[in-house]
Chains A and B, each alone.
Chain A
Amino acid sequence: MRNLFLFIKQFYPLFLFLFLEIIAFILISGSNAYHHTTFVNSSHKVTGVFYEKQDNITEYFELKQVNEVLEAENAMLRNKISRFKTLADSGKVDTVGKVVYEFWPANVINHTTQKKYNYFTLDKGKKDGMVEGMGVIDSKGIVGMVTNVSNNYSVGLSMLNNNARTSVKHKKSGAIGLMRWTGNDVLTHYVEDITKTAKVVIGDTMVTSGYSTFYPEGIAVGIVTKSELREGSNFYDIEVRLTSNILSLEKVYVVNHHDKIELDSLENIPE
């Protein structure tokens, strides 16, 4: 017994080291899971307040650029409205239809781009109606999805995250594929499962498929930068460049699907 105590006394740093490492690795494995349900995240009050303060200062430096983007978006929306108006007047569109998707504006107060698993923090939380699993887009394309929500803040999984999987559609042919990111190049995403009948060429647009409740159908995702048909394969190897401004996020929109809970439970998506 005495020997045991002596043994423990002599080697306790090693045991403590192993113990702490085990805890750390449990936390790491929790954070790498797709739904990111770990306690260690920046949606907490303290971290949120820090990042909000920082954003309040740095916001000013990007004000001009942000304004230009918003102006361009305004112009585009104006065009769309006028087009719909003419259509509605001629009776071709059913304007009584139910609204399924809503877009809520939000500010990105912190985000990373240089890691393998990147996240962003938004200044909207539970009190603004945010829930986990909402999609996030900016004026040019998709950005990510919300994974953690606290009272005042929420954290989202960026498209630049090794765990991000997005169902995309080839705009021209309607072929469905799966987009992922390997963690190396911020300009390159990979799309799999698009069949060779789709005829994908460089410059084509990929949009969201609308098969999930994260994003509505037809939101821009990326532009094809490389499209190869390997010999003997029925599927394209496609490289895509995101259209969204993922490297400097400022103003984004959160996508709220009205029947999200009903649909998710119906399709039995594990939360």
Chain B
Amino acid sequence: MTFKYTLNNLLVLIVVLLLQIFVFNNVNVYNLGFPMIYPLVILLIPVKQPAYWVMLAAFFTGLILDFFTNSGGLHAASLTAMAFARILVINKLEPQANYGKDDRPGIVKFGLQWTVIYFSILILVHHFFYFLVEESSVRHFGEVLLKTGISGILSFILMIALNAFIFRS
């Protein structure tokens, strides 16, 4: 079971990264919308996974993207920040019945409301961090917020769709 499980995870990782690098990295909506779906890889890690594992996974997933986009450590930094925020969000959102051992975030396990809150908070954290560090100044703060909002909405729709139709379990 564990082998099949690992293989599934690996497959999700590869598919999401390929989609990101070859499809969504080429999308540009009026210079404000840059959909990023790769945080999905970290969002879908089971809730009980240890924190160090999630953060290291985030760091290296980000680094793979940095290699492809010549962005130094931009993706790694923002995805690690999201992984850290994930620990807090998961604690705050814990349902009354507590989490099960292999519970994986998503619509199937936790329902639409939980998933929407969880996805939207963490996507906003990731996108805000990403665009702020990319701009690396607060001079164009309005633009950073606008990019975060518009790209965030695009990424959110894409990730919810991927979660609902493709990576169900």
A: which residues have CB within 8 A of B?
12-14, 16-17, 20-21, 23-32, 38, 40-42, 44, 46-47, 50-51, 54, 112-117, 119, 155, 184
Contact = CB atoms under 8 A, between A and B. Distances in A.
B68 A42 contact: yes
Contacts of A21: 77, 80-81
Given A20-B80, A26-B73, A114-B34, 20 more contacts: A13-B84, A17-B81, A20-B55, A24-B59, A24-B77, A25-B73, A25-B77, A27-B66, A27-B72, A27-B76, A28-B71, A28-B72, A30-B72, A40-B70, A42-B69, A46-B67, A47-B68, A50-B21, A115-B69, A115-B71
Given A20-B59, A54-B22, A117 B71 contact: yes
**Main secondary structure on B side of the interface with A:** helix
29 contacts: A12-B51, A13-B55, A13-B84, A13-B87, A17-B80, A17-B83, A20-B76, A21-B81, A23-B59, A24-B72, A24-B74, A24-B76, A27-B72, A28-B77, A32-B136, A40-B67, A40-B70, A40-B73, A44-B67, A47-B67, A50-B21, A50-B68, A51-B68, A54-B22, A113-B28, A114-B31, A115-B134, A116-B134, A116-B135
B110 to A, nearest CB: 22
Nearest to B29: A114
Contacts of A16: 51-52, 55-56
Contacts of B51: 12-13, 16
B39 interface: no
A47 B69 CA distance: 9
A172 to B, nearest CB: 33
**Main secondary structure on A side of the interface with B:** helix
A1 B18 CA distance: 48
A196 to B, nearest CB: 29
B62 interface: yes
B63 interface: yes
B52 A27 contact: no
A23 B80 CA distance: 11
Contacts of B87: 13
A116 B56 CA distance: 27
